Every structure is written in C-alpha cells, then in structure tokens.
Structure 1
C-alpha cells in the first residue's frame, strides 16, 4: 500500500477545508460591520427637558424686569385688589396720577425692583399718596406683580396719615421682602408732626403687604 500518497491527499484536503472556513468567517464579519454578535446597539441620547424659569413674555423668552417708569401708567386697583385708602372701582394711573369723586391718587418717587411674589421675574414695589377732600394725606405701598413684563397690582398696605415714604429697597434675600423707610410719629403725637424715621420690613402675602419687623430712629424736620 502506498501510505505516503494517502497522507499527502489527506493533507491537501485539510488545507482546503481550513481555507474555506476562513473565507466564510471573513464574509460573516464583513456583513455584520465588525460588530460583536449579541452586542446591544448604543441607546440614543434622551433630550434634556426644559427647566422651569421665569414667566414667559408674549413670543417666548423670560419676562423682563419691571421698571419704575412703567408704574406711572399702570393699573392700580382692580377686582382682585382694593387699596386700603382708595375709592371703589377700577383705577389706572395716567402719568402717575388719578383723580375721581374728590379723591386724588399720586404715585410717589420711591420705588424698588425685585422678586417679591416668589417667582424669578422681578416685580415692583411703589408708594402712593391718597388725598381726600379734608386734610388727610394717606400714604401706602403697592406691589405690582410681573406678568410677562406687564405690572399687575397684587398687594397693598396702608402706612397712615401724613407718613411720607423716603425709600424702598427689594433685596435678593430674604425672598418676598421689601424694606421701606418712611416718616411717622408716636401713637400719642398729633398727626401734624413727624418725629420718627422708621425702617420697616414688609412681606408680600397677596393681596396684602404685612409688616414683619421695624426699627425706629429719632427724626427732626
């Protein structure tokens, strides 16, 4: 028997089988794009959700801060807010003034801008003087909420008769606070004089502004 010829034929078959298996494996790899069998495709990125922000103005975007100038022609009293010393009915200022039924309301120069209603939009706090037919001149505070860049009356407080406001400041912290400096007097003193410079802190709790603390210093005209 010629065994050497037999082994040579078997060796040739083995080489051919190995070559064929290598070619088939290469074709599979090429068709799969080189990915590992069983591997999961990468998960698509989840779009980020928009975070809550300031109230939006018409057309989109955050509302701009109110300005003191806007208050000169702003609504002052409506069905949601009654001024403590004001007449009945709706009231809108015109160039800082309103007059009707023998009552005159005038916007005063002190004004503060900042968030006092609990949202990121900057509101406004201003002072008014209400004059009636007698000698009384009643001063008060008004908070205007920022609704899309429009001042809307939201809260108010009365400071009393002949108690002019000197300044209003709305600090960043604590939230929903306004610091007001105004002139007043002791409980037993006549309304015609002012003897105290009061620095009071008010908190806005719609529809009122509540005094939470104050400090007094002697005042001489």
Structure 2
C-alpha cells in the first residue's frame, strides 16, 4: 500500500516537472492589429474612365464667333434694311458694307459672348449701325452671331430708335444687358439726355426686354 502511494506521488511529480520545464514554450497569440496604409493610386484605366465620364457630363461646346470675327460676318435680319438681303445676308468687309442707294452698315465696338440662348449654346451679342447717305438717321441694332458651316453669321434681332447709340453690352445668366443713350419725349432727335440700362432675354428668335432703368445724362 505504501509502495503504490509512493509510485503515484512520483508519477505526479514527473508530470508536473515535464509541464514546467520540458517541451517548447507556447506560441504567442497572433496579433489582430491592422496597420493603416495609404490608398493605392488609381490605375491608368481607372483614371481614363473617370476622365471619360467627366467629359460626357460636361456640355458639348459649340463653335463661337469672336468679336473680331464679327467684322467679316454675313449680316441678315427680319426687319428692313436687313430683310432686303434675304437669308444669305450681306458680307461685312473689315466691319463695313455699302450698297445701292447709299445704305451703309458698320459694325460697332460693343460686343460680348455668353450663354444667352438656353437651347442654342454660346452666342455672341454684337452691335451694328445702319445709315443712308444724305440723311441724318443713325440706327443701332443688336445682333446674335453664330457659325454656320464654319463661317460667322449675324442676325439682327432688335433695332433701336433713331440716334440711340449703344455704349456697352454684356451677357450673363442667359440675359443680355445693354446700355445705350436715349432722350425724353421733349428732347429733339439730335439731343440725348438719358442713359438707359436695359435687360433682355432671348425668346421667339428675338430679344425681349425684361426691364430698364434710366439715369440723367449730359453730353
């Protein structure tokens, strides 16, 4: 009985010593931390796809007549004298044209480019003056210019009253702002005593006045 108890104690001591000193130490637990790394740069294919998508989202450009090109444009219109030229119009040479009866057309300095027609892309708003030899009449007109078959064509859409010179034009927010000189009813045509700022919107193939404000003008 004593022998069996001694053998048992010896066996337990052997197992205990083996678990503490024998064999390899337990492997460390695997780390679960993930180190942050910078995002990989897009591949050339991805960059090309993004560029293509952006180009599709952008509105398609339309050929624009520059203010310099207005001086060589064909001019036409729906009101005299421009309606006399038909659909083909007449060509300006260095900004001017002269025809039978002493009629003269001359492109004027005020000119601007912008999105005036919501369905027609970018337009150039230019000015022109018509006069006839031997008369005192001077009529400024507003014309919209675009390219047709690669060539500049200007259509006169609005003609101001006699001797109302245009001072400036601008285009923004699909509206045109035109500053010109005019007069009150008591002032003869040769006189000017008002500076008018008029706002126009394109519609029905013409320029429709939305509003205007006047201020005193002294020559």
TM range (shorter): 0.5 to 0.7
The structural deviation recorded for 1:52 is 7.7
- The 8 Å contact of residues 63 and 146 in structure 2, kept in 1 or not, is answered as no
- The 8 Å contact of residues 204 and 210 in structure 1, kept in 2 or not, is answered as yes
The structural deviation recorded for 1:66 is 2.6
Aligned partner of residue 115 in structure 1, secondary structure: strand
Gaps of 5+ in 2: 1-51
Give the alignment partner of residue 188 of structure 1, picking from 186, 189, 198.
186
Q: CA RMSD in A?
A: 2.6
Determine which structure has more spread, i.e. the larger CA radius of gyration. 2
The equivalent residue for 2:211 is: 213
Aligned mates of 2:149, 2:204 — CA distance in 1: 18
- The 8 Å contact of residues 70 and 154 in structure 2, kept in 1 or not, is answered as no
* CA deviation profile, 1:152-196 (whole Å, cap 9, x unmatched): 33451011111111100001x1x2x11000001012321000100
Q: Mark the CA change 1:143 to 1:157 in structure 2 (over 3 Å): closer, same or farther.
A: same
Q: TM-score, normalised by structure 1?
A: 0.65
Count of residue correspondences: 163
- The 8 Å contact of residues 129 and 138 in structure 1, kept in 2 or not, is answered as yes
Q: Mark the CA change 1:103 to 1:155 in structure 2 (over 3 Å): closer, same or farther.
A: closer
Gaps of 5+ in 1: 1-46, 55-61
Q: Which structure carries more strand by proportion?
A: 2
Q: Trace 1:12-91 onto structure 2 (pairs within 5 A).
A: 50=56, 53-54=59-60, 62-77=61-76, 81-86=77-82, 88-89=84-85, 90-91=89-90
Q: Mark the CA change 1:84 to 1:208 in structure 2 (over 3 Å): closer, same or farther.
A: farther
Aligned partner of residue 122 in structure 1, secondary structure: strand
